[in-house]
Amino acid sequence: MSISRLFSQISGYGDVSNVSTNRKSDTGGLLGLPKIMKEAKKAGKPVLGSWLMFPGASLARMVAQMEYDFILVDCEHGDIADAEMHVSVGAIASNGASPFVRIAAPENYFVKRALDAGAHGILCPMISTVEQAKAVVSYSKFPAMKGHENNGTLSGVRGTGSPFAPAVFGQSQGDYTATANKNTFIAVQIETVEGLENCEEIAKVEGVDMLFIGPNDLASSMGYPPLDNGKIPEVQEAVKRILAATKAAGKYAGMFCLSAEEVRWRFEQGFDLMNLAGDVAALAWWNANELEKLKDLR
């Protein structure tokens, strides 16, 4: 038994041998979310996930078993602290989905904690400038290693040492460090007027894999009611501009969605990755729907 396998068992991450990160396919040795994205692109399919705002490994494990491609752990607006993020990431990975973490802000500490927990990728909110995007990439990448040029050309400032990330990926510490730069997925959110104006240049930043649109904040930044974003022509024109910039740069495009109908719309529009609402929305919708059926009794 390998050290990483032993550690994965005693740390509660379980058997990772059949996790989606380790499926064999023609993806150039990629693991994690980069592999999932490449496979889906080749097959002409969307990458679909769910959003967690409540803490708890049990909840994360349950949702990960629903055959989503990824589960996003929301540490920006969600009620999820650092330790809770750690256990959720492990629970998601051990149940066949890709753990994706939205960090609270584009700061080195938040990037480090998410990736050291074993997140396959990070989603960074409020990226408005090229400089911010480059900083997030640098925080996410280890310094380049001689003899490991196939791990990509980027060299960052990420520190080594976490034993948790290799366990989530089912790798030894050495193998994880040598391959993490190409297996770490970096998504930045465009959700401000400044980010919109700079989206073409942000999309070109090396190491940024995806531009993800936060439609509520984008609408709010443009001076419109955030929840009406889907009905506002100016906001939808902004969405089209960001999508075009992303595709022109050869990057993936992501969008926050609240329904199956919206997922279909955005996929047909050209987006690659969407979420299908999340835990809070599901709880609110089910209760409202069922209570409405009992309105005559109350």
Cα 169 from Cα 32, distance rounded (Å): 8
Using DSSP's 3-state secondary structure scheme, residue 252 falls into: strand
Q: Is 77 a catalytic residue?
A: yes
Long-range contacts of 235-241 (CB under 8 A, 24+ apart): 238/196, 239/213, 239/215, 241/196, 241/199
Cα 208 from Cα 134, distance rounded (Å): 8
Residue 166 burial by CB count (10 A; 0-12/13-18/19+): exposed, middle or buried? Answer: buried
CA atoms within 13 A on the CB side of 258: 12
Of residues 274, 246, 248, the one with CA closest to residue 261? 274
Cα 170 from Cα 136, distance rounded (Å): 25
Of residues 194, 195, 182, the one with CA closest to residue 140? 182
Residues listed for the chain? 298
Q: Catalytic residue among 77, 86, 120, 148, which?
A: 77
Q: Which residues are catalytic?
A: 77
